[in-house]
Amino acid sequence: MDLYLIIIGTLLAAICIWKVIGMVNRYKGLIKLYNQKNIQPAGKFHPFWGHLHLGADFDEFTNICFKLIEQTKTRMVSIWMMFFFPLILVCHPETAKIVLKSSEPKSKRMGGAYFPLLDWLGDGLLISDGKKWERNRRLLTPAFHFDVLKPYVQIYNSVFSIFLDKLEKATSGGKSVEIYESVGLATLDTMLRCSVSYDAKVQEQGSNHPYVDAVRRLSYISQERLLRPWLTPDFLFYLSPIGREFSKHAKYVHDFDEKVIRERRKSLADNPSVLEKRHLDFLDILLTARDEQGTGLTDREVRDEVDTFLFEGHDTTASSIGWAIYALAKYPEEQQKVYEEVKRVLGGRENVEWSDIQEFTRLSLFIKETMRMYSPVPAIARVTTREMELEGVVIPVNTEVTIMIQVLHHNEEIWNKPEEFRTDRFAEESKRDPYSYVPFSAGPRNCIGQHFALNEQKVALARLVQRFRILPDPNNVAVPTNAVVTRSKNGIYIKLEKR
Ligand code: HEM
């Protein structure tokens, strides 16, 4: 008996030692691989922290990339999150193109960029991969057809009428006001009305409404979790106060969605002709979509997509509109050009019509430059499922590769004076690689909602400049910070003067 125990014990110990040696060799190999000419390490490697001791947040690693690009012209940077989790940061369009054109999946394993969203968004379009993603992307594409988007313009108008009235009150007497929070409520209002035709009086009630509060807190906590690696394992997260809060809100949102889906399914079954009488919302399209076999989406799939639209469609657009308003205030000559165009296109009308949207060419340039300067989604990530050659380096399987969108948009090798806000750069002839400018990503996993988002932004900004002259607040200069979306560390303050 003792002999058996000794043999088993020795075998187990040998396996452990063999595994540890294997791991050490693998890490040694990876450290060597990620420490060569074409792939600059973020800095000095610490045996425990890796490179984490070099920066407290994503902003600092973005700055490290800028410095390394300037000093070494590198196109890739390697970062070790402690001693066991290497990341490759891609900083050049030609390298980004290879990753974005591939069908490599999103990194949703533990610690991966999309992991914190899983228990809320499930396997919705943003996170799913492979055959499921292909089928659902095909089924959902008609939801973004121009005929479906057209009636939403009136929803944007009505949402931003409320927004402007609130703003007019808040800024009366020349007061400075923080707008990022209110823009976020307006874009969530839009998404709820367009996805499930739910008017939750979001802007009137704000976070007092439980659904609004839940969606906002879920977005916030998912982003916070990424920055707190000790909350990565589910069991630790769900024991923590923010984990318990996440779970409570996710349950509320899921129960709410399921009720809305059940009721809509029943109402469509009872009265299918209703679809011919009113405009379609996303939920109608999700419930009536059928694949080649005639199979539709299950209730759970519909729920995942609704939650994905609400998350992906409101925070991103809020960031984009928020920074655009800031840029209008900061660059008065650009504001004037936009205003003159809006005045010409709308004449005396307040509401923006579908046909006006194509006429806003100057406003389009302005929005483009804003999304370059303050990229709403600063980075996205993939994980390799096969070896991938980038800049002559063979990146092994199972490596997280992050496309640094904000860095691409400010890379001096690509952009002339990138820190200058100049809308005309998009009107000039240029041989720039299309992958230099990817606010909506590019390739097969590009943003399905980009036309929706651009239309909403145009309505919001046109209505704003038509009614007000937007002025900066010199005592509150906004400081961008890269989270899942680009926010401002200290809010976005502006003043308004009625025209
Ligand atoms: C200014 C606003 C927006 C920006 C900057 C933006 C940006 C992006 C980016 C960068 C991606 C790629 C994400 C990744 O690879 O992980 C993406 C994907 C996606 N976006 Fe947007 N987005 C915006 C608005 C919207 C809106 C309004 C909706 C929905 C109505 C939406 C729905 C989606 C979905 C479903 C995906 C996943 C697509 C797929 O993988 O097939 N987005 N978006």
**Three-point CA angle 407, 218, 53, nearest 5°:** 45
Residue 316 Cα to ligand 1 middle (Å)? 8
Between helices 152-170 and 450-467, what is the axis angle to 10°? 40
For ligand 1, whether the C-beta of 105 sits within 6 Å is: no
C-alpha span between 225 and 397 (Å, rounded): 25
Between helices 299-330 and 210-226, what is the axis angle to 10°? 80
C-alpha span between 74 and 95 (Å, rounded): 11
Half-sphere exposure of 5 (CA within 13 A, CB side): 2
Q: Specify whether the CB–CB gap between 217 and 245 falls below 8 A.
A: yes
Direct distance between the N- and C-terminal alpha carbons of the chain, in angstroms, rounded to an integer:
93
**pLDDT tens digits for the chain (499 residues)?**
677 888 888 888 888 888 778 777 777 777 777 766 788 888 888 888 888 888 877 888 888 888 888 888 889 998 887 777 788 999 999 999 999 999 999 988 887 889 999 999 999 999 999 999 999 999 999 999 999 999 999 999 999 999 999 999 999 889 999 999 899 999 999 999 999 888 888 888 877 788 878 888 888 888 788 777 788 899 999 999 999 999 999 999 999 889 889 988 998 888 878 777 778 889 999 999 998 899 999 999 999 999 999 888 888 999 999 999 999 999 999 999 999 999 999 998 999 999 999 999 999 999 999 999 999 999 999 999 999 999 999 999 999 999 999 999 999 999 999 999 999 999 988 888 999 999 999 999 999 999 999 999 999 999 999 999 999 999 999 999 887 889 999 999 999 999 9
C-alpha span between 403 and 426 (Å, rounded): 22
For ligand 1, whether the C-beta of 445 sits within 6 Å is: yes
C-alpha span between 174 and 469 (Å, rounded): 11
From the list 448, 386, 417, 400, the residue with the least C-alpha distance to 108 is: 400
Residue 39 dihedral angles phi and psi, to the nearest 5°:
-145, 100
- Other CB atoms within a 10 A radius of the CB of residue 474 amount to 9
C-alpha span between 91 and 78 (Å, rounded): 11
For ligand 1, whether the C-beta of 136 sits within 6 Å is: no
Between helices 180-196 and 210-226, what is the axis angle to 10°? 110
Residues 6+ apart with CB under 8 A from 254: 303, 307
Q: Which amino acid is at 409?
A: H
For ligand 1, whether the C-beta of 177 sits within 6 Å is: no
288 forms beta bridges with none
Determine the 3-state secondary structure of 471 from DSSP: strand
For ligand 1, whether the C-beta of 380 sits within 6 Å is: yes
Residue of 226, 312, 374 to mutate, ligand 1, most atoms within 8 A of C-beta: 312
- Which residues in 351-412 belong to E strands, given as ranges? 380-383, 388-390, 393-395, 400-403
Give the residue ranges of the annotated binding site. 447
Residue 123 Cα to ligand 1 middle (Å)? 15
Residues 6+ apart with CB under 8 A from 283: 195, 196, 197, 260, 261, 264, 302, 306
Place of tokens 């808040």: 170
What local confidence, expressed as pLDDT, does residue 1 receive? 62
C-alpha span between 122 and 410 (Å, rounded): 33
Give the residue ranges of the annotated binding site for heme. 447
CA 128 to each of CA 105, 118, 122, 345: distance values in angstroms, whole numbers, following the listed order: 8, 10, 8, 41
For ligand 1, whether the C-beta of 378 sits within 6 Å is: no
What local confidence, expressed as pLDDT, does residue 151 receive? 93
Residue 494 dihedral angles phi and psi, to the nearest 5°:
-140, 170
Residue 29 dihedral angles phi and psi, to the nearest 5°:
-60, -45
For ligand 1, whether the C-beta of 391 sits within 6 Å is: no
Residue of 316, 382, 446 to mutate, ligand 1, most atoms within 8 A of C-beta: 316
Q: Specify whether the CB–CB gap between 177 and 494 falls below 8 A.
A: yes
C-alpha span between 357 and 345 (Å, rounded): 9
β-strand pairing of 493-498 with 468-472: antiparallel
Q: Specify whether the CB–CB gap between 393 and 38 falls below 8 A.
A: yes
- Other CB atoms within a 10 A radius of the CB of residue 481 amount to 16
Residue 143 Cα to ligand 1 middle (Å)? 14
Residue 301 Cα to ligand 1 middle (Å)? 18
Q: Which amino acid is at 434?
A: P
Place of tokens 């539709």: 296
